[in-house]
Amino acid sequence: MKTPLFFTFVCVVGIAFFVISPLYPNQFAVQFLGSLAFWLGLGYLLMKYPLKNAISRVRSGGRTSFGVLILYLMAHYLAYSLLLSRLTDLPVEKTLGLTYAPMSTVDLQNLLGILFSPSLSAGWGGIYVDLSLFSILMGLVIGTLVTANLEELKYLRGAKREASLIGIPMAGIITGSTCCVSIATVVYYYVPLISLSLAVASILLNFTYFSLPIITAIFLWLNLRTLMGFHGKIVKKNPEVKVDK
């Protein structure tokens, strides 16, 4: 079986086990393994194909790029976790472990649960951190794209006369890299205004946590393609431009 088909199969099997996990006495173990299989399979497919060029750019940057990636991931995960603790307003206890959302029956609606269950939870010193496999993967995807975009800009550092062409992509990188903070801030301040409508608040939170990170990742991916296109055009127009390879 070819690699793409194999990992697609892994994703399908993972989803299937997640959905039918209520049938098993140890629902947590089945749910965890199903979710892990799905997100690992999807993560591999993303990194192998649409993010192939991005990963290549990050690797070309060496330790500096990996340092930027790690710092971004720390900020990304912390921002969302702090937002969660503020929105839930639950007492924070010292805790560390895996949590999950039990499901009573087998239902296709259980598919939504794979976005947030199971999750790694930790609480200490008034701070509560809660990271699902979805949020971990999206952090890696967005962090990789942000770092790759910055690395691509380094390739164009000699094209001073083309600064106007780089301005828009640069703005895109800044916008994408701050998504974890800006989204968190918007939701934190505006959810209380609609707290009387639980349905509206639920829709906004779901959109924030699940849709906006995906939109951000797509935006950064397109931004990287644009920068790579500028790279080729600038080098062709200005052979004297220095680029790192």
- How many structural domains is the chain composed of? 2
70 and 180 within one domain: yes
DSSP 10-63: HHHHHHHHHHTGGGSSSHHHHHHHHHHHHHHHHHHHHHHTTTHHHHHHHHHTHH
Q: In this predicted structure, which of 78-82, 161-165, 228-232 has the lowest mean pLDDT?
A: 161-165
CB 124 within 8 A of CB 94: yes
60 and 30 within one domain: no
**Phi, psi values for residue 89, rounded to 5°:** 55, 35
206 and 127 within one domain: yes
36 and 12 within one domain: yes
Q: What average pLDDT does the segment 148-167 reach? A: 64
Q: Which long-range contacts (CB under 8 A, 24 or more apart) does 178-183 make?
A: 179/142, 179/212, 179/213, 179/216, 180/75, 180/76, 180/79, 180/80, 180/139, 180/142, 181/75, 181/79, 183/208, 183/212, 183/213
For the stretch 73-83, pLDDT in tens is: 888 787 766 65
Q: Give 86's pLDDT tier (boundaries 50, 70, 90).
A: low
56 and 41 within one domain: no
201 and 157 within one domain: yes
End-to-end CA distance of the chain: 35
pTM value? 0.81
Rg of the chain taking only CA atoms, in angstroms: 21
Confidence check: pLDDT of 189 > 70? no
Domain range for 111? 52-237
For the stretch 107-119, pLDDT in tens is: 887 888 898 888 8
Is 242 part of any domain?
no
106 and 35 within one domain: no
